[in-house]
Structure formats: C-alpha cells, structure tokens
Amino acid sequence: MKTKKPNAELIWKQLEDQLAPQLRLSVIDRTVYAHLLRHSRLEGNLRHRFSILGMARSIRVSTGPAREAVRRLAAHGALRMVQRSKAGHVVEVRLPDEIRGVRLKPIESRPAAKEQRTCAPAPVNLEEADFFQTKPLREAIHARERGQCFYCLRSTAPSVRCLDHVVPQARLGRNSYRNLVSSCMECNTQKGETAAADFLRRLYRERRLTATELAARLRALDALTSGKLRPSLAT
C-alpha cells in the first residue's frame, strides 16, 4: 500500500518535540517507532513487515524490551497491528499527526528571510581578499581587464588566459587585486621574474606595443598598484 512520502523534517521535529513527551515514550519506544517509521512511511509504504528479533538486532536492544515497545506503541495508537505470527509482524505505522489523542501544535520555523540573511556570504573585504582563492574572485580580475592581456593588450579567450602576479610570488607578491592581472599565457611565461615595468618596455622594444600603448600601460600599472583599478564584485 503506497502512500505519499511525508515531510521527514516535520515528522522528526513532531516526534522529538511533541509526540515523545506527550506519550511519555521511553528511549526504546522512540527508537522502535523511528525505526518502523523509517522503513514504512518514509519509503512511501503504510505497512511494514518485520520480525521482533530482526528489528531488535538492528537497533541493538534485547527482544523482550523491543516486543514491549511494540505493544506500548500499539496501545498508544502509533502502530496498528495487522498481523502477528511466527513468520513476522505486519504493522501500519501512523504519522505523529495521525495518532488519536496526540495534539500537535504548529512547529515554529525560522522566517525564511532571516535564514537567507544568515546564509548569505559575508561581504568581501576588497583590500584583504585573496583573489586567487575562489572562482568568482578570479573571474572579477579577468572581467576588470575586459578580456585583454594587461601587458600586450591582445584579446584573451577564457581558455588561454591566466592570472599573473605583477610582483612575482617568489618576491612575496600578494594575491591582492593590486597585484593580480589577467594576462595571456605567453606574457605570463615570458615575464617570469621580471619587474612589470621592465617587461612592458621589453614588449615595446619587440614592437608588440606602440610608444603610446607603452605609456598607457605604465600608467595603468601605477593605477593598479595604487589601488585605482578595483574589480567589481557582485555581492
């Protein structure tokens, strides 16, 4: 006999907060009820066939107390005995709100808005953020450069771009937005330990940047290190 699967969270709270105290369920009663409920209603079945011995073993109690608990639960109306035989028992398991004589008050739940507030990520402190740490932060640096290599100004497809440390990590360069730029793989490899300004001048000598572009890149470098090129963070 299939039934709709109930709201397990609600049932758990009803059992813990109201059913157990109202019916004065012992620890074993509660465990037996939870076990039978889990294997019947939480699987979408009204009835459950089991043997006292098998259930007692599974919840690690002796058969005597397990049998007593089943009797008590049936007396409370939490179970309805359908069949009792040597081969096993068949019971119908009642949900907390189906048990006669049990008065359930609505369970108070935290307002959704409050929950959302507490779950929302903390705002990022721009100056202290490690921009290598998460994908959104790495993407924020790439977005700031608008798909261009910070050094050679070539457009960089997402698959061939990387984050480059202006002051190399080997020289204690930080993962700050003031020290990370989006660059093409080639510039990232060629720059190596070279200072960023020297690398830009090398690009000019190799005619990969014009004089105007070089001047603009050097200004951008100053703006970067003085914190004027802030990535925008969606918070």
Determine the interface stretch with Zn ion among 74-82, 124-132, 150-158, 222-230 (rule: CB under 5 A).
150-158
196 binds Zn ion (CB under 5 A): no
187 binds Zn ion (CB under 5 A): yes
Collapsed DSSP state (helix, strand, coil) of residue 53: helix
Q: How far apart are the first and last CA of the chain?
A: 50
CB nearer Zn ion, residue 97 or residue 186: 186
Minimal distance, residue 111 CB to Zn ion, in Å: 51
Residues in contact with Zn ion, counted by CB under 5 A, come to a total of 5
Cα–Cα–Cα angle for 206, 207, 209, nearest 5°? Answer: 115
Q: Which backbone phi and psi does 38 adopt, to 5 degrees? A: -60, -40
149 binds Zn ion (CB under 5 A): yes
CB nearer Zn ion, residue 124 or residue 152: 152
Determine the interface stretch with Zn ion among 78-86, 91-99, 112-120, 183-191 (rule: CB under 5 A).
183-191
Query: Residue 60 to residues 48, 52, 78: CA-CA distances in angstroms?
Result: 19, 12, 21
Residue with tokens 């100053």: 222
Cα–Cα distance, 153 to 183 (Å, whole number): 9
The total of other beta-carbon atoms located within 10 Å of residue 148's CB is: 16
Minimal distance, residue 117 CB to Zn ion, in Å: 43
184 binds Zn ion (CB under 5 A): yes
CB nearer Zn ion, residue 63 or residue 190: 190
152 binds Zn ion (CB under 5 A): yes
Identity of the residue numbered 205: R
Residues near Zn ion (CB under 5 A) are 149, 151-152, 184, 187
